[in-house]
Amino acid sequence: MASIIEQVRTDFGGWGATYDVDGLVERIKSELGTRGLTAEGSRIVFSVCPDEINRLHGRRTIEGALAAVYDGDFHLGTLAAYPISGLSGIAAASHHAPDRHIDGACVEGDLIILASPHVGVSPGPKLVYGRVTRPGQEHETTSCGAAMGFLKELKESKSCKSLDLNLDDPLDTARQIVYCQLVKHFGNELDRILEIQDENRQVIELAKINHDLVERTIKNMLHAFMAKDPCGTRFALVSGITINAPGEDFFVLKGISVLKE
């Protein structure tokens, strides 16, 4: 049987490069360090799902490793990693980065944003995507629960056009926003998922769409923020999909970019 990381590499193919936790951390530090964004002068900002599997101390997690390198973290995300904190969150984070010093002058520090939906995997003769056994539990649960819930409703509705997208429910705001944004921007792609017979492939393709929504939204927010607030903060974006295996995370890296240098 192939290892989990080998199977993830096969399943995601050319969409992105797959790393374990240490490999991802070294890639980020190396690539951004050569462009002057150091751990000492940067704050890590997470646009990730609040699901606790992403930060449980009993697992080797992407979040835990990056928070340790960058001395803490700031959070933007809600269900399915959507950056619900918006421009106000980015503005707040920009005031929290550690100061940098250039030629004796103190300037604003940098923000490194990790944009990452997540998906669980259950090991076996064949990986099962969308489910994971969490520490302290003996049974599998969905991961990401919000994304898997969306997929379930999409399949039951037969089409994006038939989904219940009631934005007037004050008791479930995050779910409604995430669902509406997915349908608004990726309706055709989501309907094509319904044509896929393999359930693993359905989950993987939804994770990719979820990533594209989160990445695009953050880029739009950052460009809007930079246009109206000419601060000295530099912004880097690391995007991909976190893979939650039972004891550790893996990461399918889509890209690392610096949006303002």
Within 70-107, where are the H helices?
86-94
Which DSSP category does 248 fall into?
B
3-state DSSP helix/strand/coil percent for the chain, to nearest 5?
45, 25, 30
Q: In the Cβ-directed half-sphere of 169, how many Cα atoms lie within 13 Å? A: 12
Q: How far is CA 13 from CA 4, 201, 208, 254, in A?
A: 14, 12, 12, 12
In order of their start, the domains of the chain are 4-252 (3.40.1050)
pTM: 0.94
184-232 pLDDT, tens digit each:
999 999 999 999 999 999 999 999 999 999 999 999 999 999 888 777 7
Low-confidence spans in the chain with pLDDT less than 70? 1-2, 101, 103-107, 260-261
Q: How far is the C-alpha of 45 from the C-alpha of 96, rounded, in Å? A: 10
Q: How far is the C-alpha of 158 from the C-alpha of 195, rounded, in Å? A: 10
Q: How far is CA 110 from CA 107, 202, 258, in A?
A: 10, 37, 10
User: Both tokens of residue 70?
Assistant: 């960058």
Q: Is the distance from CB of 28 to CB of 112 less than 8 angstroms?
A: yes
Q: Which residues contact 89 (CB under 8 A, 6 or more apart)?
A: 74, 76, 83
